[in-house]
């Protein structure tokens, strides 16, 4: 097992793309793919889940990435062990970030890029996950930092939170729907409406909250279908199949033109829907703390 191969693996894992990694490493994509395949054969596991339009780490790949970064950090340390000025800042460090799907997180990637420009030795591994998996992953150490809904951390004093994005519920309607002229809607307005919901594992907060609110108003949800992602739900809305719920944090301003649909704010009493950046209070990784401080400096709560 060669150190260069381990470095290649880290590049592919953190870039999430063979194409981007090969460009940064100045080697051909076929050569890079072959080296990773040889590494997988040597280990006897698949480190990556390869789909036609995406590349992600397998569970074994995530574990191997963490261990590989530790190995490379030790090698860096040995290489500079006898330097007159042994600068610990040059040692590589991995920050593992989990985040919710469907949300407009362009700001997250922008801040990561800015931080990497200041600290090029820091690598980021980012992965989409469900709300509960983000909570469990932060607790177990699978993630160092997560972007999740504030309501999932209400009772946890061991978690430091920073409001990353203000967020509230909205309703997507067909353009010619009778309610589309209103400026704000309530759950009482939605009685007898057909509803399209995200699958519960994708957004249990939305599903549970919507169902409970309907029950409080004395009627049941008329769920016509459950969808895997926001795009599928909004596409069904544009076809007139029903209404859909989404968070304002998922709306980048282009959704009404893309489908087309009408999106209206929903009046609710729940104020814990903001998206927060959360880390464990006891996690003392140097660059994680620096990144957390960097977020605070660059975000307006």
Each domain of the chain, given as residue ranges in start order, spans 3-165+275-298, 169-266
CATH 3.40.190.10 assigned to domain 3-165+275-298? The reply is yes
Nearest to 7 by CA among 113, 98, 92: 92
Q: How far apart are CA 281 and CA 264, in angstroms?
A: 38
Nearest to 174 by CA among 187, 193, 191, 188: 193
Say how many C-beta atoms besides its own lie within 10 A of residue 250's C-beta. Answer: 20
Q: Output the CA torsion sign for 127, 292, 140, 210.
A: negative
pLDDT at 90: 59
65 Cβ contact partners less than 8 Å away, ≥ 6 residues apart: 9, 10, 13, 57, 94, 125
pLDDT at 89: 54
Q: Do domains 3-165+275-298 and 169-266 have the same CATH topology?
A: yes
Q: Tell me the helix, strand and coil percentages in the chain, rounded to 5.
A: 45, 20, 35
The mean predicted confidence, pLDDT, of the chain is 88
Say how many C-beta atoms besides its own lie within 10 A of residue 233's C-beta. Answer: 26
Q: How far apart are CA 63 and CA 179, in angstroms?
A: 50
Give the pairing type, strands 262-266 and 184-185.
parallel
pLDDT at 65: 93
Degrees to nearest 5, angle at CA 255 with 249 and 260 = 150
156 Cβ contact partners less than 8 Å away, ≥ 6 residues apart: none
Dihedral pair phi/psi, residue 18, rounded to 5°: -70, -35
Select from 3.40.50.2020, 1.10.10.10, 3.40.190.10, 3.30.43.10 the CATH code of 169-266: 3.40.190.10
Tokens 């903001």 belong to: 274
Say if residues 68 and 48 touch (Cβ distance below 8 Å): no
Q: How far apart are CA 173 and CA 175, in angstroms?
A: 6
State the DSSP code for 259.
Answer: T
Confidence (pTM): 0.81
Task: List, in sequence order, every residue forming a beta bridge with 244; answer none if it has no partner.
Answer: 172, 196
pLDDT at 222: 87
Say if residues 119 and 72 touch (Cβ distance below 8 Å): no
3-class DSSP state of 91: coil
Say if residues 238 and 261 touch (Cβ distance below 8 Å): yes
Say if residues 3 and 69 touch (Cβ distance below 8 Å): no
Per-residue pLDDT of the chain (301 residues; tens, 9 = 90+): 889 999 999 999 998 899 999 998 999 999 999 999 999 999 999 999 998 788 999 999 999 999 998 898 888 778 777 776 555 555 678 999 999 988 889 999 999 999 999 998 899 999 999 888 999 999 999 999 999 998 888 777 788 999 999 999 999 999 999 999 999 999 889 988 999 998 887 777 788 888 888 888 888 888 889 998 889 999 999 999 999 999 999 988 899 989 989 999 998 766 678 999 999 988 888 899 999 999 999 985 4
Gyration radius of the chain's alpha carbons:
22
Q: How far apart are CA 207 and CA 201, in angstroms?
A: 9
pLDDT at 300: 57
Question: What number of CA atoms fall less than 13 Å from residue 74's CA on the CB side?
Answer: 6
pLDDT at 218: 85
Q: How far apart are CA 19 and CA 79, in angstroms?
A: 30
pLDDT at 88: 54
Say if residues 43 and 64 touch (Cβ distance below 8 Å): yes
């Amino acid at each position: 097992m060669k150190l260069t191969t381990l470095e290649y693996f880290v590049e592919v894992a953190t870039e999430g793309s063979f194409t981007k990694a090969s460009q940064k490493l100045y080697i051909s994509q076929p050569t890079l793919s072959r080296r990773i395949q040889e590494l997988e054969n040597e280990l006897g596991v698949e480190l990556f889940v390869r789909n036609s339009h995406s590349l992600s780490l397998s569970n074994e790949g995530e574990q191997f990435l963490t261990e590989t970064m530790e190995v490379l950090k030790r090698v860096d340390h040995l290489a500079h062990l006898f330097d007159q000025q042994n600068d610990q800042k040059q040692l590589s460090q991995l920050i593992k970030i989990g985040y919710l799907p469907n949300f407009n997180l362009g700001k997250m990637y922008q801040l990561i890029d800015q931080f990497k420009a200041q600290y090029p030795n820091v690598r980021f591994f980012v992965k989409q996950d469900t709300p509960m998996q983000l909570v469990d992953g932060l607790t177990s150490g699978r993630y160092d930092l997560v972007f999740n809904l504030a309501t999932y951390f209400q009772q946890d004093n061991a978690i430091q939170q920073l409001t990353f994005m203000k967020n509230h519920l909205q309703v997507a309607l067909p353009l010619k729907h009778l309610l589309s002229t209103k400026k704000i809607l309530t759950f009482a307005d939605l009685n007898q409406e057909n509803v399209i919901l995200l699958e519960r594992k994708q957004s249990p907060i939305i599903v549970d909250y919507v169902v409970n609110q309907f029950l409080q108003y004395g009627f049941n949800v008329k769920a016509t279908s459950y969808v895997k992602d926001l795009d599928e739900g909004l596409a069904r809305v544009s076809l007139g199949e029903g209404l859909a719920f989404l968070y304002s944090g998922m709306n980048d301003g282009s959704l009404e033109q893309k489908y087309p649909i009408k999106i209206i704010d929903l009046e609710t009493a729940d104020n814990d829907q903001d998206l927060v950046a959360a880390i464990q209070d006891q996690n003392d990784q140097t660059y994680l703390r620096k990144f957390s401080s960097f977020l605070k400096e660059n975000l307006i709560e």
